[in-house]
Structure 1
Amino acid sequence: MKQTLAAVAFATAALAAHAQQPIVLKVAHFWPPTAMSQQKVLEPWCAKIAKESNNQLQCQIYPAMQLGGTPAQLIQQAIDGVADVVWTLPGYTAGRFPSMEVMELPFLTKDAEGGSRAAWEIYEKYGQKDFAGVKPLAFNVHDRGHLHNNKRPITKVSDLKGLKMRAPTRLTNKMVAALGATPVGMPMPQVPDAVSKGVVDGYVLPWEVIPTMKLHEMTKYHSEINAPQPGLYTTLFTIAMNQAKYDSLPPELKKVIDANSGAEFSASIGRAWDASAPPARKQAEERGNQFNTIGAAEVEGFQKATARVTDDWIKEVTAKGYDGKAMVEDARALSAKYAERK
C-alpha cells in the first residue's frame, strides 16, 4: 500500500513538474540582432509575456533568418510551424494579402505610431480573411520613408529619371516606377551589397534601418519630404503567430498573448520606429552626407506622379471582391486622425 501511495505521489509530482515546463516560442525575423526591431520591440515583448505568465511563456529569438529560408518565406514558416512567431512584411509575398497593401500607398501616413494604429483597424475591418493559418499579433508601419542615392540630389520628380532604385514591396516598386526610376525589388538583407556594387543607384528607406545596415557609410544623397506633408511612402509589417500554436495554449496563456497584441501593441511599435529616426539620421549627418528637402511646391508633383498607383490599386482589389475605394478612404482618415492625436 505504501509503495502504491508513493508511486501515485511520484507520478503526481512528475505530472505537476511537466505541466509547469515553460513553453518556448521560436521567434524569427530577418534583421540582425542589433536592430531596433529586436532590441526595442521583440526583446521587451518577450520579457513582458514571460513576466505576465510567471515564465510559462518564453522566447527563443532567431534573428537574421537563423531558422533558414529567405525573408519572403517567413510568413509561410509561421503558417507551417517552422517558427511560432515571425516579424515580416506581408508585401514580401506580392498579392497574397491584398487587404493590407492599402497601408503602403503613397502619401498615406504622417508617422509610424498613427499609421500603425490605423493599420490594426484596417486589419480588423477588412483583412482577417487574408491571414488564415496565422494569428496576427500586430501590424505596424515604419517612420517616414525617404529617397537615398549615390548619383545626384533629388528635389523634384525629374531627378529620379533613369535611376535604379531598390524598393521592398510590390506597391513601393510601382511608386518608384511612377516617379520615373527603374524599380529593383529585393529583401532588405541584400541591399548593402547591391549599393556597394552599384547594382542599384539608391533605395527608399526610413532612417532607422540605414545605420543598422551601415548604408549611411555608402550613400551620398538623402532627400526628405517633411511634415506636415504626409510621408512619401511607408511599408507594412506584421508580427504573426502560428494559429495552431496559439490554439494549443491553455486559456490563461492565451490571455497573456491577447493582452500583448492588437492596437496598443501595434501603436507601441510605431512609437519605437518614430523615436528611432532622429538618432539614425544624425549618423548620416555626422558623415557629412548631403541632405535635400523636397519642398511643398515639388511635393505636389510627386503626388500627381504617384496618384495612378492608388487608382490602379483600387481597381485591382475591387475586381477581387474588396471595396478598394472605402479601404483607401478609411486608411487615410484613420492615419490622419491618429497623427493629429499625438
Structure 2
Amino acid sequence: MNIIKTAVLAAAALAAGAISASAAEYEFKLHHLLGEKAPAHTKMLVPWAKQVEENSGGKVAIEIYPAMTLGGRPPELINQVRDGVVDLVWTVNGYTPGLFPRSEVFELPGIHTNDTAATNLAMRDLFETDLKDDYKGVEVMFLHVHAGQAIHMRDTEVHSPADLAGKKIRIPTRTGAWVIEALGASPVAMPVPELPPALQKGVIDGAFIPWEIIPPLKIQEQTDYQIEGVDKERFGTTTFQVSMNKARWDSLPEDIQKAFRDASGPEWVEEVGKIWAASDDFGINLAVKAGNTHITLTEEETEAFRQVLAPVTDRWVEEVSAKGIDGAALVEKAKAAVASHSGN
C-alpha cells in the first residue's frame, strides 16, 4: 500500500509540476552565441530572464538557448530575431558590419576606456535621441559593452604599436579592424567561439578581446601575454544588444512589456557593467595563475597607442557622415555621456 501511495503522490507531484510549467501565458526563446558556463550566460542573461519572469507574476517564461543550439552562426542572430525565428537574442553588434553605425561610436578608442558601467549608462542616455534608428525590426531590451579590448598574444611581448606590426590579430568589429590597421597589423574577423583553435594553430598571432573570455575559452592555454593600458585602459570595446522581435513586442499587453522594461532599467545596465568588470578581473587572475605574463603599459607607452589610434575616430566620422549621420557631434555626445557617469 505504501508503495502504491508513494507512486500516486509522485504522479501528483509530476502533474503539479507540469501544470506549473505550463502556467506561463507568454513563452519566449532567447538565443545566444556563448556556452552555458560563460559569465554572460550565468551572471547576466539567466538573472535577467528570472527577473522578467518574477516581474510578470509568473505569466512569462524565458527559455535560454546558449551556444547557437537553435542553429546558425553568431552573425545570423540579428536576422533570426528580426525574422521571428526566435523571440530574443543576445548578440554582438559588430558581427554584422555597418548595420549599427550610430552605436559604433561607443566602440571607438578614447570613448570607452575602463568604466564599463559608465559606458552602459551612456548608451542608455543616448538611445532615444541618437541610437534608436540602428535597431529597425527589434525592440531593444538593453545595450551594453564589455570591459574593453585588451591584447592577448601567443608569444609576443607588446609595449608599443611597433610590436604589433605585421601581426595577424583577431577582432570582432569593423571599428576594431580599423584599430588593428592603424597599429600596422592585419585584422582577422571571426566570432569569439572560433578563437581558441585559431590561436592554437597559429592562424592568428593574437586577439583584441577582454579578459572575461579567458576562463570559458581557456585562452590562458593558447597565449603567453596579456596586455592593457595604464589604469586598465582599453583600446575600444564591443557593443552588444539584448533585443526582442518587434512584432512579438508589439503584440504584448502593457503589463508584460512593463515586466521586461522594469528588468532592463538603469540600475540593471549599471549592474551589467559591474558584472563584466568583475568577470574581467577573474579572467586575468586566472591567466596569471596559469603562468601568463600580465603587462600593464606605462603612461608613456599608453599615450603612444592613443596617438596612433586617434585617426580611427576621424575615419569613423568621415564614414558615417557619408550616411547622413553627424559623427563629430555624436563623438562629443558619447564622450560627455560617459564622463557624466564615470567614477559614480
- Alignment TM-score, normalising by the size of structure 2: 0.91
Could you tell me which amino acid in structure 1 is paired with residue 190 of structure 2? M
Could you tell me which amino acid in structure 2 is paired with residue 296 of structure 1? E
The answer to whether the 8 Å contact 2:102/2:134 transfers is yes
The answer to whether the 8 Å contact 2:30/2:86 transfers is yes
SS at match of 1:208: helix
Residue number among 109, 115, 132 corresponding to 1:111 in the alignment: 115
The answer to whether the 8 Å contact 2:24/2:58 transfers is no
1:190 aligns with 2:178: no
Task: Identify the residue that residue 159 of structure 1 maps to in structure 2.
Answer: 163
Q: Displacement of 1:265 after TM fit?
A: 2.8
Residue number among 316, 319, 342 corresponding to 1:316 in the alignment: 319
Deviation per CA, 1:222-279, whole angstroms, max 9, x where unpaired?
111132x742211111111111111111221111112122433322211110111211
Task: Identify the residue that residue 41 of structure 1 maps to in structure 2.
Answer: 44
Task: Identify the residue that residue 67 of structure 1 maps to in structure 2.
Answer: 70
Deviation per CA, 1:87-145, whole angstroms, max 9, x where unpaired?
11111110111110001101222211111111122322211112111001111011132
Once residues 140 and 24 of structure 2 are traced to their aligned partners in structure 1, the CA distance between those partners, rounded to angstroms, is: 25
For residues 225-264 of structure 1, what are the structure 2 equivalents within 5 Å?
A: 225-227=229-231, 230-264=233-267
Q: Displacement of 1:337 after TM fit?
A: 2.1
The answer to whether the 8 Å contact 1:107/1:230 transfers is no
Once residues 196 and 258 of structure 2 are traced to their aligned partners in structure 1, the CA distance between those partners, rounded to angstroms, is: 41
SS at match of 1:27: strand
Once residues 273 and 258 of structure 1 are traced to their aligned partners in structure 2, the CA distance between those partners, rounded to angstroms, is: 21
Could you tell me which amino acid in structure 2 is paired with residue 183 of structure 1? P
The answer to whether the 8 Å contact 1:27/1:60 transfers is yes
Could you tell me which amino acid in structure 2 is paired with residue 194 of structure 1? A
Could you tell me which amino acid in structure 1 is paired with residue 223 of structure 2? T
Once residues 333 and 204 of structure 1 are traced to their aligned partners in structure 2, the CA distance between those partners, rounded to angstroms, is: 25
Residue number among 282, 286, 294 corresponding to 1:279 in the alignment: 282
1:219 aligns with 2:202: no
Once residues 248 and 239 of structure 1 are traced to their aligned partners in structure 2, the CA distance between those partners, rounded to angstroms, is: 18
For residues 41-190 of structure 1, what are the structure 2 equivalents within 5 Å?
A: 41-109=44-112, 110-190=114-194
Q: Displacement of 1:41 after TM fit?
A: 0.8
Once residues 20 and 215 of structure 1 are traced to their aligned partners in structure 2, the CA distance between those partners, rounded to angstroms, is: 42
Task: Identify the residue that residue 309 of structure 2 maps to in structure 1.
Answer: 306
The answer to whether the 8 Å contact 1:108/1:230 transfers is no
Deviation per CA, 1:180-232, whole angstroms, max 9, x where unpaired?
111101111111110111100110111111111111111101111132x7422
The answer to whether the 8 Å contact 1:85/1:240 transfers is yes
The answer to whether the 8 Å contact 1:108/1:231 transfers is no
SS at match of 1:204: strand
Deviation per CA, 1:298-325, whole angstroms, max 9, x where unpaired?
1121111111110011111112111101
Task: Identify the residue that residue 5 of structure 2 maps to in structure 1.
Answer: none
Residue number among 329, 335, 341 corresponding to 1:326 in the alignment: 329
* Matched positions, count: 323
The answer to whether the 8 Å contact 2:153/2:205 transfers is yes
Percentage of identical aligned residues: 38
SS at match of 1:280: helix
Q: Which runs of 5+ in 2 are unaligned?
A: 1-19
Once residues 255 and 23 of structure 2 are traced to their aligned partners in structure 1, the CA distance between those partners, rounded to angstroms, is: 13
Once residues 32 and 210 of structure 2 are traced to their aligned partners in structure 1, the CA distance between those partners, rounded to angstroms, is: 18
Once residues 287 and 67 of structure 2 are traced to their aligned partners in structure 1, the CA distance between those partners, rounded to angstroms, is: 24
Could you tell me which amino acid in structure 2 is paired with residue 124 of structure 1? E
Task: Give RMSD over aligned pairs.
Answer: 1.6
- Alignment TM-score, normalising by the size of structure 1: 0.91
Once residues 27 and 48 of structure 2 are traced to their aligned partners in structure 1, the CA distance between those partners, rounded to angstroms, is: 14
